């Protein structure tokens, strides 16, 4: 999660997100209030509920559109001009990032139900951007909607993780092998800083930091194919593969992260050197380890 982000209330969100466990059900999510206007306020009526005689309601045939003066656009005060128009979307995006980080680190516990109002209080924002962020995670398959309670973190086991690894290998391995034959060495060398960034992220032992860096390296490699749809689909599968298992180990430790990052640099070395057999072996090993 990015540090130093701000909620809609102006409160700065700092440090790792600590999501409270919610074993019990919460109340229904609040609905937005809609102001109602009585019909009597809109149309004056006489005694008995009929319109006053001196103001008969026009029929469609008797309506003659009156010439209307041009309408000037409303003036915008300096305060409104200075207010950023994307503030709400920015807060929602920050909450999405925070919740994704909490998923990777295991702070959002599989099987637990979390309500938008409670999480909003934790983040220092209203329930609305949290609910919208949770809806985004529901589209990604990370959570599911629980009516009148909130959102439950999806539980998944080793089989689902193996299936994700298989699908990722079917998509990425042929592309990388094709790129190994067509992309010149100098283009591969440009990815060196991205690969080295994964090594630095792994050395911190922070799973969320490494998860972002890991996906960035894979996106950079696949982007050389020039297929944006491929990059988006592979990145979505990769993100889902990073969520912790239900009932399994919390996540890979620092040593495993460092070993995974080392595979990135070794693969890049083989791609630069143009050794297809080594590239093929390294790519297969990398996906076998779900990297």
Give residue 244's pLDDT: 79
Per-residue pLDDT reduced to its tens digit, 99-122: 999 999 888 999 999 999 999 999
Distance CA 154, CA 143 (A): 5
Confidence of residue 202 (pLDDT cuts 50, 70, 90): very high
267/28: higher pLDDT = 267
End-to-end CA distance of the chain, in Å? 20
Give residue 90's pLDDT: 86
Give residue 248's pLDDT: 53
**Residue ranges of the chain assigned to CATH 1.10.10.10:** 86-155
19/12: higher pLDDT = 19
Tokens 């994307």: give the residue.
86
| Statement: the pTM of the whole predicted model exceeds 0.75 | no
Alpha-carbon dihedral angle through residues 134, 246, 253, 101, given to the nearest 10 degrees: 0
Topology given in CATH for the domain delimited by 86-155: Arc Repressor Mutant, subunit A (1.10.10)
Residue 217 has pLDDT above 90, yes or no: yes
Per-residue pLDDT reduced to its tens digit, 14-55: 444 455 444 443 433 333 333 434 444 444 444 444 444 443
Distance CA 282, CA 273 (A): 14
Nearest to 268, CA basis, from 210, 154, 183: 183
**Residue ranges of the chain assigned to CATH 1.20.120.530:** 158-288
Which CATH code for domain 158-288?
A: 1.20.120.530
Q: Could you tell me the CA-to-CA distances from 95 to 39, 128, 181, 270 in Å, in that order?
A: 41, 11, 41, 39
Give residue 158's pLDDT: 87
Give the mean pLDDT of the chain: 76
Per-residue pLDDT reduced to its tens digit, 129-178: 999 999 999 998 999 999 999 999 998 888 998 999 999 999 999 999 99
Q: What percent of the chain has pLDDT over 70?
A: 66
Give residue 56's pLDDT: 36
Nearest to 291, CA basis, from 206, 202, 227, 179: 202
């Amino acid at each position: 999660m990015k540090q130093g982000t701000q909620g809609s209330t102006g409160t700065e969100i700092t440090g790792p997100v600590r999501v409270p466990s919610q074993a019990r059900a919460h109340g229904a999510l609040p609905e937005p209030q809609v102001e109602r206007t009585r019909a009597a306020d809109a149309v004056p009526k006489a005694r008995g509920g009929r319109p006053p005689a001196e103001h008969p309601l026009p029929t469609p045939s008797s309506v003659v559109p009156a010439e209307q003066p041009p309408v000037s656009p409303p003036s915008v005060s300096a305060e409104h001009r200075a207010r950023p128009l994307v503030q709400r979307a920015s807060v929602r995006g920050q909450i999405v990032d925070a919740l994704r980080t909490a998923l990777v680190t295991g702070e959002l516990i599989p099987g637990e139900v979390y309500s938008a109002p409670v999480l909003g209080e934790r983040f220092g924002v209203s329930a609305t951007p949290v609910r919208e962020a949770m809806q985004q995670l529901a589209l990604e398959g990370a959570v599911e909607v629980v009516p009148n309670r909130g959102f439950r973190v999806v539980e998944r086991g080793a089989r689902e993780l193996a299936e994700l690894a298989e699908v990722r290998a079917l998509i990425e391995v042929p592309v990388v092998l094709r790129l190994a034959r067509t992309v010149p060495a100098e283009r591969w060398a440009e990815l060196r800083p991205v690969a080295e960034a994964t090594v630095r992220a792994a050395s911190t032992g922070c799973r969320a930091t490494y998860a972002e860096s890991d996906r960035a390296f894979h996106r950079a490699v696949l982007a050389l194919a020039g297929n944006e749809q491929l990059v988006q689909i592979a990145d979505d599968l990769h993100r889902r593969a990073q969520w912790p298992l239900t009932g399994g180990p919390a996540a890979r430790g620092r040593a495993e992260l460092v070993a995974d990052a080392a595979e990135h640099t070794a693969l890049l070395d083989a791609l630069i050197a143009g050794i297809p057999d080594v590239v093929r072996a390294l790519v297969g090993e990398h996906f076998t380890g779900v990297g």
